[in-house]
Amino acid sequence: MLRKKMSNQTNVTEFFLRGFSDVRELQILHFVLFLVIYLVGLVGNLLIITVVALDHRLHTPMYFFLGNLSILDLSSISVIIPKSMANSLLDTRSISYPACVTQMFLFMFFDTAGLGILTTMAYDRYVAICHPLHYEQVMNRRVCVHMAASAWVSSLLYSALHTGNTFAVSFCGGHMVDQFFCDVPQLLKLACPDSDQGENGVIVFSACLVLSCFVFIIVSYVQIFRAVLRIPSEQGRHKAFSTCLPHLTVVSLFILTGAFAYLKPTSSSTSLLDLVLDVFYSVVPPVLNPVIYSMRNKEIKAALWKLTGWRLSMAQKMSLLRL
């Protein structure tokens, strides 16, 4: 499993992920809970993607970006939850070196692209509310596609850089990852002393990138709220807030949980509370995003009811034809 090298360094061929419990009954409970969470996230994000694609009234920049965000959220939880479920069900914790590299690369790619999409959504709301007369000209189809593509491509390059730097280090701190999936902070805890300087530079760059996006979003919403408060009618203010508050809630949940996970002090031992908090950072935001947007957005709810009603009517017609 581990081949010794000189200077007490090791060539890791597999890692062991931290489990939630060694008790078999609790492992089954963890499997069931993660299965429910995954199904909720799967169904919720698929519904958002479906209604945005099928309802022509939702073929606008805001819902185009929302569809992209749902794709990224669905992909993000699909990268980490099934493996954790399989480990609990099979009573194992191992993950191969290539699988760990792939998991970390994809998770970082989808999460970073999600941050990029959230930033573009803030700009979209800023143009829609602060410059409504120029909205269709500024946020035309070509610009939206370019902005979304830029988020995907830049995140792909960033994730490749981050993953390459992380796994370029020498691991001599064992092979137990203090996380239920392969993540940067826990893997760097296993790095040999003075072998992770390059990755530390990338982490500083990452912090600056996230901070820049966060500042851009905050500045955009300061301008948005100033414009909304100048709207004379209460109905107009309510409509503007109803389209902004879900996005602001999603942004806050995403950035605050991510910042806590990456900035909290790394300890030599990981408690169950640390694992639960890591779940809130990696799993909860992608699952809650469809719920937040569906609850606060009348157009999404109307599209969902329309889709559900159409499906029910088609099922009734098919049953009548069989009779």
CATH of the domain at 163: 1.20.1070.10
| Residue 313 domain-assigned (yes or no) | yes
- 3-state SS assignment for residue 11: strand
Contact 172, 8 (CB under 8 A): yes
| Residue 1 domain-assigned (yes or no) | no
Q: Which domain holds residue 275?
A: 11-322
| Residue 79 domain-assigned (yes or no) | yes
| Residue 32 domain-assigned (yes or no) | yes
At 170 the pLDDT is 78
- Overall number of domains in the chain: 1
pLDDT tens digits, 112-159: 999 999 999 999 989 988 888 899 999 999 999 999 999 999 999 999
% of the chain with per-residue pLDDT over 70: 83
Query: Which residues share a beta bridge with 16?
Result: 94, 176
| Residue 3 domain-assigned (yes or no) | no
CA atoms of 195 and 176, how far apart (whole Å)? 18
| Residue 6 domain-assigned (yes or no) | no
**Per the confidence metrics, is the pTM higher than 0.95?**
no
| Residue 258 domain-assigned (yes or no) | yes
At 123 the pLDDT is 93
CA atoms of 323 and 319, how far apart (whole Å)? 6
Angle, in degrees to the nearest 10, between helices 284-296 and 61-90: 140
pLDDT tens for the chain, residues 1 to 323: 433 443 344 567 888 888 787 888 888 998 999 999 999 999 999 989 998 888 888 889 989 999 999 999 999 999 999 999 999 888 888 899 899 999 999 999 999 999 999 999 999 989 988 888 899 999 999 999 999 999 999 999 999 988 888 888 777 767 888 888 888 878 878 877 766 555 666 777 777 888 888 889 889 988 988 888 887 777 777 777 777 777 788 888 777 777 776 666 655 555 666 677 778 878 888 888 888 877 667 777 777 777 776 555 555 555 555 55
Using CA atoms, how far residue 271 sits from 133, 257, 275, in Å, is 54, 18, 7
| Residue 89 domain-assigned (yes or no) | yes
Give long-range contacts, CB 8 A cutoff, 24+ apart: 130-139: 130/223, 130/224, 130/227, 139/61
